Amino acid sequence: MESKTVKRSDIERLVREALSKKLPGPPAAGSPPNDLKVNISARHMHISQANLEVLFGPGHRLEVLRPLYQEGQFAAKETVTLIGPRNRIIPNLRILGPCRSLTQVELAFTDGIQLGFDLPVRQSGDIDNTPGGYIMGPKGLVEIPKGIIRAARHVHMGPVDAEYYRVRHQDRIRLRVKAAGCTTVFEDLLVRVDPSFKLEAHLDTDEGNACHMEEAESLELFA
């Protein structure tokens, strides 16, 4: 009997441990290891080196306008014009560097309304069955068959943050933005964990305006 009881409690403990590791739970005790930054991503484009050279000329390299919060990422000096499926345009679309393997355009819903179509909400890189369009640069035009999306709201974090918030890569978490008379909770922030990431949530301009981010008094991630 004694050994059975021990086994049962062992199993219960193991199950509890497994569940607590798998499911987002309350943050670990103590204060967060890193300050949370929430930045608003204005509409932008990621681009492949091949497409960049069509738009800006052979051998062209992106020039840094200003560095972004994530290491190595930057807003480039280069901008393009996006031409949507009904020949409606979005001018001055900024390119973010460095170049990637995929060309992808990230817009807010308001931009989608301007272009005249519903934007699919996708995580970066997941662009199958998404709308395409034309990109015009000073030296040429590129047709992109797909890749115009509204980026899913998300938070970048390193492994230490992930442990604190008890989440894993691709989990979902919530973000509360406290602002006087306008406190907003965003659900379903996609968690993206990588050792190179600094703790930073990305919202688009529609979301940033909705929660009055400029007046935010506090920011909090919670399960």
Binding footprint of Zn ion on the chain (CB under 5 A): 202
Q: How many CA atoms lie within 13 A of 206 on its CB side?
A: 14
Using the minimum distance from each CB to Zn ion, give the nearer residue, 42 or 89: 42
Considering the complex, what minimum distance in angstroms separates the CB of residue 133 from Zn ion? 22
Using the minimum distance from each CB to Zn ion, give the nearer residue, 53 or 111: 111
Residue facing Zn ion at closest CB distance: 202
Using the minimum distance from each CB to Zn ion, give the nearer residue, 142 or 190: 190
Considering the complex, what minimum distance in angstroms separates the CB of residue 197 from Zn ion? 9
Considering the complex, what minimum distance in angstroms separates the CB of residue 29 from Zn ion? 28
Phi, psi dihedrals of residue 167, rounded to the nearest 5°: -130, 165
Using the minimum distance from each CB to Zn ion, give the nearer residue, 54 or 219: 219
b/e code 16-55 from CB counts within 10 Å (16+ = b): eeeeeeeebeebeeeeeeeebebebbbbbbbbbeebbbbb
Burial environment of residue 158 by CB neighbours within 10 A (0 to 12, 13 to 18, 19 or more): middle
Considering the complex, what minimum distance in angstroms separates the CB of residue 155 from Zn ion? 8
